[in-house]
Chains A and B, each alone.
Chain A
Amino acid sequence: MNDDDLVFRALADPTRRLLLDRLFERDGRTLTELESEIEMTRFGVMKHLRILEEAGLVVSRKAGRNRLHYLNPVPIRLIHDRWIDKYTEHRVSALAELKTQLEETA
């Protein structure tokens, strides 16, 4: 699986998107904090966090005795740069072409 596959796979799950949303609201949280906001076992949350970490969407760092989890927005940005821009630009240029054609025939 390449990097993009890992990101898309990680995002294709509502619990993992919920975890990302929680981190977006407040970053740098412990597993215990995240677990308390989601109706799921500690093991389940750990499993989802591991998939998010493998995809690079969550980065965990040690802070004293705690391990804090941070949202890493870079992989989504890279997909945006590589994929979304490509298609939206195409659509914009297609519309521009249509406008030119319509105006020429008018």
Chain B
Amino acid sequence: MTTITDVQTTQVYQLFIKATPEQIWEAIINPEFTQKYFYASRIEFADGRRRSFGPNGELWGDEAILEQDPPRKLVHEWRSLYDPEVAEEPASRVTWEIEPGEDGASLLTVVHDRLEGAPKTAAGVAGVGWMRVLSGLKTLLETGEPLA
């Protein structure tokens, strides 16, 4: 049985996307794109912060950007604010790595770690949580249409 304590403290997600690293980077940092695949949230990267806003402009996240090397690597903190219980947990960390590949496909790897002190966050993002985002990002970039 999967309980919250079983949830992994490092989660790795990897997929090929038929797009250039520049296109993938743009889709990650541009709020016009993120609202089409990231739970309808507008995510802004500015002034060393990653801020995400819900559909009605409510603040869903305000995290430090730890490293950025466009269009190859982006590291930021992760702390969800939309649920008070989850918001109490310490920040975890998300790393995006983009590697150019053959025949126009790039390999995107997302590592969500430092989840040791954040079991509710870990359970919330595990499996379907990140996969909906990444599957939606792939569909958006490859077809121009959001995932239904």
Partner of A59, one of B14, B138, B147: B14
Q: In the complex, are the beta carbons of B147 and A81 less than 8 A apart? A: yes
Q: A27–B138 contact, CB under 8 A?
A: no
Most chain A beta carbons < 10 A, residue from B10, B12, B131: B12
In angstroms, Cα B135 to Cα A72, docked, is 13
Distance (whole angstroms) from the CB of A36 to the closest CB of chain B: 19
The answer to whether A28 touches B8 (Cβ under 8 A) is yes
Interface size class of B (residues with CB under 8 A): 10 to 19
The residue on B at minimum CB distance from A57 is B14
Q: A72 contacts B14, CB within 8 Å?
A: yes
Central interface residue in B127, B131, B138, by most chain A CB within 10 Å: B131
Residues of A within 8 A of B (CB): 3, 25-28, 56, 59, 61, 70-75, 77-78, 81
A-B contact pairs, 12 of them (CB 8 A): A27-B11, A28-B8, A56-B14, A70-B10, A72-B13, A74-B13, A74-B131, A75-B15, A77-B131, A77-B134, A78-B138, A81-B139
List of 8 A-B pairs having minimum Cβ-Cβ separation, nearest first = A70-B12, A27-B8, A77-B131, A74-B15, A72-B14, A59-B14, A59-B12, A28-B10
